[in-house]
Structure 1
């Protein structure tokens, strides 16, 4: 975590209801931080995609959500962590249209485009960690 102004809140991601819960928590925090409606929507969409990936491809895991402050500019940082099979070819997984399952292939690449900072740490049989940050404009 970087310069959190709040302690991160951890949410389990083990069922569809958890994806909804994380998405709502992020929306509430974005409203609190006075993000524009467009930036709220971008962040919530990225959160939804990544939480769903954590559940479907990672077998479940957790999301950690924190409010950031960078020289008076609020941001929201979210970590998604799972202990699933990992992503064998990250470059391929970040290619628009590529999917390892029945999805449209827009999850990782789409989420990356919607946020200001995006990091992935993954390896086969080691799980996946994704960190995203969205800053208020």
Structure 2
């Protein structure tokens, strides 16, 4: 099963749409309520970052499979300004928006796999995967 659905993120309502899509796909794949909430929170954070820092981008969600495991992969991409210092944004408590600074480190903790690729001046791609237990 390799279905992928994407939500363009341009405004706050798109964040809600991305969250809903993620929750529905997680439920379809058999994730329990706690993992559904983790996935939804991660999507919310990634979509919010796109909206706040890049202006627009997209969240794609797809079923994932690896070595007999099934899961859900979230791919957040934008063509925004990029992240100058990835190590800095991955520190707990670091914030540029005045928020709690749980952001990307929080997403990494909520998910099982986390990869970030960013080029200053051309954008960011973050891939986060949660595996079924």
- How many residues are aligned here? 133
TM-score, normalised to structure 1, is 0.92
- 1:51 matched to 2:70? The reply is no
Match of 2:63 in 1: 67
- Which runs of 5 or more structure 2 residues have no equivalent in the other structure? none
Report the 3-state secondary structure (helix = DSSP H, G, I; strand = E; otherwise coil) of the residue aligned with 1:103: coil
Name the Cα RMSD after superposition: 1.1
Report the 3-state secondary structure (helix = DSSP H, G, I; strand = E; otherwise coil) of the residue aligned with 1:57: helix
* 4+ residue segments displaced more than 6 Å: none
Which of 85, 93, 116 is residue 112 of structure 2 equivalent to? 116
TM-score, normalised to structure 2, is 0.95
Looking at structure 2, the residues matched to 87 and 69 of structure 1 have their Cα atoms a distance apart, in angstroms, of 29
Match of 1:96 in 2: 92
Report the 3-state secondary structure (helix = DSSP H, G, I; strand = E; otherwise coil) of the residue aligned with 1:100: coil
Which of 30, 53, 65 is residue 34 of structure 1 equivalent to? 30
Residue deviations 1:22-49, cap 9 Å, x none?
Answer: 1001000111111121111111111100
